[in-house]
């Protein structure tokens, strides 16, 4: 089975999404992003019409972490329908789920808007919070950006969200077509192997173990797995675990060692070595990059 992230990548590269994103940007002057369920970075970072206020805050690790936690909350609470969350600065983000069957594989996300006129009282509250966090920022630029944030009436914003809900339904149909095509192209044995790996990735898994489950020889399984996926069994297992680790490292309260063991690595040394081989950087540097 294709990973959710790969399906979302194919959707984001599709003509239907690119055309809709451009039309949405031009009609609403709001940013729009399509992202997988897992969050590696700000969903709207660098997008057209991104709120400059949010862009300034993203440069600080503490405020960046607060923004990522808002996005995580949106993902956790928006599994059934469109869900809007307000950040500490009083701005709203909304995520609309995209599904393959009953599984949520990703979200359409927009927002960074105020539903009421920004006030001096609210801005003073924001600056006090930033001072408490020890955030260093150009307050003049921040103030100017804050008071130029997009302000929409609740009914108008809900109407935009409704349009995204309809578009998300079309994307869900397209995503299911991608999945059906992939299932028809991939040998059932490989699909079963991937499912087994995804289910047992936090436990020790050996090539022999998976081959026994599939009732095939290790030689045949290795040959077919590499031919179908382009990766050896060991490389695929490592990448699967590292993807899970990336998601865990978003949470600043999770230690690197905890992420390593939760992903099935027997030692921190092995985890660090594998993480750098797969991503090109260490877990610590990768985490720092999330907030840079």
Among 181, 197, 227, the domain boundary falls at: 181
| Whether 142 and 17 share a structural domain | yes
The three-state secondary structure class of 265 is coil
pLDDT of res. 134: 86
- Answer left, alpha or beta for residue 50, where phi above 0 means left and psi between -120 and 50 means alpha: beta
| Whether 159 and 269 share a structural domain | no
Among 150, 166, 181, the domain boundary falls at: 181
| Whether 176 and 196 share a structural domain | no
* Residue 67 structural domain: 4-181
| Whether 193 and 132 share a structural domain | no
Q: Is the pLDDT of residue 142 over 50?
A: yes
| Whether 160 and 25 share a structural domain | yes
CA distance 97 to 113: 20
**What is the domain-level CATH number for residue 64?**
3.30.450
Beta strands in 211-257 (DSSP E): none
Among 181, 205, 228, the domain boundary falls at: 181
Q: Tell me: the pLDDT tens digits for 47-104?
A: 999 999 998 888 777 676 777 777 778 777 767 888 999 999 999 999 999 988 778 8
Q: How wide is the angle at C-alpha 261 spanned by C-alphas 245 and 209, nearest 5°?
A: 95
- Structurally, the chain folds into a number of domains equal to 2
pLDDT of res. 1: 47
| Whether 24 and 131 share a structural domain | yes
Q: How wide is the angle at C-alpha 9 spanned by C-alphas 24 and 242, nearest 5°?
A: 135
| Whether 171 and 74 share a structural domain | yes
The answer to whether the pTM exceeds 0.85 is no
DSSP codes joined into one string, 108-140: EEEEEEBSS---HHHHHHHHHHHHHHT----HH
Closest residue by Cα to residue 89 from 54, 61, 62: 54
Q: Tell me: the pLDDT tens digits for 145-161?
A: 999 999 999 999 999 99
| Whether 161 and 101 share a structural domain | yes
pLDDT of res. 184: 66
CA distance 108 to 168: 7
**What is the domain-level CATH number for residue 219?**
1.10.10.60
* CB of 25 closer than 8 Å to CB of 31: yes
| Whether 177 and 202 share a structural domain | no
DSSP codes joined into one string, 159-205: HHHHHHHHHHHHHHHHHHHHHHHHHHHS-HHHHHHHHHHHHHTTS--
Q: Tell me: the pLDDT tens digits for 157-213?
A: 999 999 999 999 999 988 888 877 766 677 889 989 999 998 898 888 999 999 999
| Whether 159 and 46 share a structural domain | yes
| Whether 110 and 255 share a structural domain | no
| Whether 221 and 159 share a structural domain | no
């Amino acid at each position: 089975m294709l990973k959710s992230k790969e399906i979302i990548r194919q959707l984001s590269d599709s003509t239907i999404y690119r055309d809709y994103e451009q039309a949405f940007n031009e009609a609403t002057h709001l940013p729009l992003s399509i992202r997988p369920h897992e969050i590696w970075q700000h969903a709207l970072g660098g997008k057209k019409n991104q709120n400059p206020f949010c862009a300034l805050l993203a440069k600080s690790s503490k405020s960046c972490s607060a923004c990522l936690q808002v996005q995580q909350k949106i993902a956790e609470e928006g599994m059934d329908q469109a869900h809007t969350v307000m950040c500490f600065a009083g701005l709203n983000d909304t995520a609309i789920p995209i599904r393959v069957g009953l599984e949520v594989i990703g979200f359409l996300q927009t927002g960074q808007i105020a539903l009421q006129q920004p006030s001096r009282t609210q801005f003073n509250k924001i600056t006090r919070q930033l001072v408490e966090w020890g955030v260093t920022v150009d307050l003049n630029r921040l103030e100017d950006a804050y008071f130029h944030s997009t302000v929409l009436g609740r009914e108008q914003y809900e109407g935009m969200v409704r349009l995204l809900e309809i578009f998300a339904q079309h994307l869900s149909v397209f995503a299911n077509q991608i999945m059906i095509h992939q299932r028809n192209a991939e040998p059932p044995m490989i699909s079963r192997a991937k499912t087994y790996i995804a289910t047992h990735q936090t436990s020790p898994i050996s090539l022999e173990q998976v081959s026994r489950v599939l009732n095939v020889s290790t030689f045949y399984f290795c040959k077919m797995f590499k031919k179908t996926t382009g990766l050896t069994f060991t490389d695929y297992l490592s990448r699967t675990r590292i993807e899970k680790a990336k998601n865990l490292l978003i949470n600043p309260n999770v230690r690197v060692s905890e992420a390593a063991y939760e992903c099935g690595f027997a030692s921190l040394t092995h985890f660090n070595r594998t993480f750098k081989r797969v991503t090109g950087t260490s877990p610590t540097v990768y985490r720092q990059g999330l907030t840079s």
